[in-house]
């Protein structure tokens, strides 16, 4: 499971001209899922993200987590994170999990983040054509792959 985490001062998701998610300070979390992902990946990744110390403390040092700062989050499924660009110029998405595998894992990830954060988060819609707007704060962008946790 791959995640791109962006610290934002605002972010939103729009589908068919309807805003379905809208936050101020927090994280925009893009998730790419593969068939081999498990609950272990979900649990590890969620805890890593909500405890990642990438928010400024009172001394303006990145030393505070999403959990500590009481920030909000938007989670968006993005199969293109699993693209392979080794051959040619057209990315291959063969590693990305099919919807019957990816949807339950995506939903479990959302549930786990809510549990670890202690509050409801906002989401995009799996498989939808979404417009994601954000104002990256910093900029701070972190990429985490649950397969590289050791």
From 80, 85, 123, 141, the catalytic residue: 80
Those residues whose C-beta lies under 8 Å from the C-beta of residue 42, and which sit 6 or more positions away, are: 1, 105, 108, 109, 112
Neighbours of 92 (CB within 10 A): 13
- Sign of the CA dihedral running 69, 23, 6, 146: positive
* Strands 122-123 and 26-32, bridge-based pairing: unpaired
Task: Please indicate whether residue 80 is annotated as part of the active site.
Answer: yes
Please give the positions annotated as active site: 80
């Amino acid at each position: 499971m791959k995640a791109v985490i962006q610290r934002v001062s605002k972010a939103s998701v729009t589908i068919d001209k309807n805003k379905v998610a809208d936050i101020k300070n927090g994280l925009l979390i893009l998730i790419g899922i593969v068939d081999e992902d498990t609950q272990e990946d979900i649990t590890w990744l969620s805890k890593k993200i909500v405890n990642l110390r990438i928010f400024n403390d009172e001394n303006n040092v990145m030393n505070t987590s999403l959990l500590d700062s009481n920030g909000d989050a938007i989670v968006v499924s993005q199969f293109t994170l699993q693209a392979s660009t080794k051959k040619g110029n057209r990315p291959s998405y063969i590693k990305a999990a099919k919807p019957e595998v990816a949807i339950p894992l995506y939903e479990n990830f959302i549930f786990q983040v809510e549990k670890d954060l202690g509050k409801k988060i906002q989401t995009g819609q799996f498989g939808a054509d979404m417009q994601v707007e954000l104002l990256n704060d910093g900029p701070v962008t972190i990429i985490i792959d649950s397969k590289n946790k050791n």
